[in-house]
Amino acid sequence: MIRINNRLRNIVLMCIYPPLLDGSAYSNFEFARGLSENGYGVEVIAYPCEGWREYDKWSEEALGIRVYRIPIKYVYEGEPPTQENLDAVSGFISDFLKSKNGDMPDIAVIGHDSWAWYEPVLHGFGLPVIQHLRGTPTRAINNGIYPEKERMRFINHVLNADHIIAIADHFRDLAISFGVSPEDVVTIRNGVDTSLFHPNVRNNELQKELEIEEGTNIIIHASNLYPVKRVLDIVESADRVLSERDDVVYLIAGEGPDTEKLHHAVRSSSFADKFRLPGKVPHYRMPDYMNLGRVFILASESEGYPRVALEAQACGLHLIASDMPAGIECTRNGELGTNYRMGDPDDLAEKTLSVLGMDEKTFEETKERALDYISSRCTFEKEISRYISCLERVYESAKSCI
């Protein structure tokens, strides 16, 4: 199929998308919003989720972004799609593109690793394809997350993309290890919306609502509570921390597969009254929660480059992260935060106590380095500019090959 557009105009984005409470979903939304605000036409193909009808109406009316929901349930990206789901999603994408007639998108962006399976459909319609690598299954593709046959199929789809956008440097290195040419992969991290996430005064009403006393050191964790987040390590480490510090409260936000295990672990703790579990927190409310805190814990066994960690640092919290590759990259080897041995609650407790006992000068210096890093490298404005440059470059290269 030959396209004769003079410039990149219309983009189709296939991805996990809000109102799903997921970091990748909000990252995709922010890229879509940024593209729309810069004059590009954006259409999104996504799975349905709770509240999607109201959200999609708002998205089209307020932003001009039309969302098409595949009529099947969200499929967890840690498992290869069944043949039934593969056929259903492929058929939906194919029907969508056929319906475009003379208004075919100029480029397709696969906004999440788990959608790589649909690369052949997009190439079949002559679209250049940009593949995001930002999380699951890429983070664990060499650690048995997929059976070998599906692992190789996934990697082959990634290799077939015209260009790769990696969420972090360690993901870029992983793509190159698959066989992607270094010239065909670029690192573009999540951009932080610093108009929302920045140091601010505590929301006293929220603190009262959570029944947390003034002067308390609040330690925050927020995630979708999948097992990979290792939230139970935080609860286990808290017993030692709370036995030595009576001025600490743990605030753990989110819901997911480990919700019941989390609640059971807290009930079994000797310090159950020192935990606050608000459940799901809408993204727009997270700045208020973050600005209650002093420390944010990222306990995961693997990640891409978690936006929640950047948002916590943007609000001035000290990041304590496991020593997985993403954790080391988030702290820049300890320059912007603190690392501990992944899966070791005792080491997490020791590092938490160390941060809580840090003199104010050292704490503020680390905080300022993190804030400077985000303002110079990780703002939404800077990352959307790099994103647009990448799309334009790939589109121009594809045009020259026609």
Confidence of residue 285 (pLDDT cuts 50, 70, 90): very high
Q: Which residues of 184-221 are buried (b: 16+ CB within 10 A; e: fewer)?
A: bbbbbbbbbbbebbbeeeebeeebeebebeeebebbbb
Which tokens in the block code for residue 374? 């985000």
396 pLDDT above the threshold of 50: yes
Which tokens in the block code for residue 347? 């080491």
Q: Please, are residues 63 and 36 in contact by the beta-carbon 8 Å criterion?
A: yes
Confidence of residue 5 (pLDDT cuts 50, 70, 90): very low
- Rounded to an integer, what distance in angstroms lies between the CA atom of residue 182 and that of residue 347? 37
Share of the chain above pLDDT 90, in %: 87
Nearest alpha carbon to residue 220 among 294, 326, 300, 327: 294
Which tokens in the block code for residue 35? 């593209």
Q: What is the pLDDT of residues 131-150, one digit of tens each?
A: 999 988 998 899 899 999 99
- Average pLDDT of span 51-67: 96
Share of the chain above pLDDT 70, in %: 98
2 pLDDT above the threshold of 80: no
Terminal C-alpha separation, the chain: 9
Q: What is the pLDDT of residues 175-222, one digit of tens each?
A: 999 999 999 999 999 889 999 999 999 999 999 999 999 999 999 999
- Average pLDDT of span 30-55: 95
Q: What is the pLDDT of residues 334-357, one digit of tens each?
A: 999 999 999 999 999 999 999 999
- Report all structural domains of the chain as residue ranges with CATH numbers, in order of start: 10-191+379-400 (3.40.50.2000), 204-377 (3.40.50.2000)
DSSP symbols for 137-170: TGGGTTTTSS-HHHHHHHHHHHHHSSEEEESSHH
Handedness of CA 278, 280, 285, 287 (dihedral sign): positive
CA neighbours closer than 13 Å in the CB half-sphere of residue 203: 13
- Rounded to an integer, what distance in angstroms lies between the CA atom of residue 332 and that of residue 175? 21
168 pLDDT above the threshold of 60: yes
Q: What is the pLDDT of residues 289-303, one digit of tens each?
A: 999 999 999 999 999
- Rounded to an integer, what distance in angstroms lies between the CA atom of residue 308 and that of residue 274? 23
Q: Which residues of 352-366 are buried (b: 16+ CB within 10 A; e: fewer)?
A: bbebbebeeeebeeb
Query: Average per-residue pLDDT in the chain?
Result: 94
4 pLDDT above the threshold of 70: no
- Rounded to an integer, what distance in angstroms lies between the CA atom of residue 46 and that of residue 67? 7
Confidence of residue 63 (pLDDT cuts 50, 70, 90): very high
CA-to-CA dists, residue 174 to 36, 140, 307, angstroms: 31, 10, 20
Q: What is the pLDDT of residue 318?
A: 98
Using the structure block, give the residue that is written with the tokens 């753990």.
Answer: 252
Count H helices and E strands in the chain, helices first.
15, 13
165 pLDDT above the threshold of 50: yes
Q: What is the pLDDT of residues 82-113, one digit of tens each?
A: 999 999 999 999 999 999 987 899 999 999 99
Q: What is the pLDDT of residue 402?
A: 57
DSSP lists the bridge partners of residue 68 as 45
> Which one-letter DSSP state was computed for residue 63?
I
Nearest alpha carbon to residue 179 among 163, 156, 162: 156
Which tokens in the block code for residue 286? 């997270």
Q: What is the pLDDT of residues 250-277, one digit of tens each?
A: 999 999 999 999 999 999 999 999 999 9
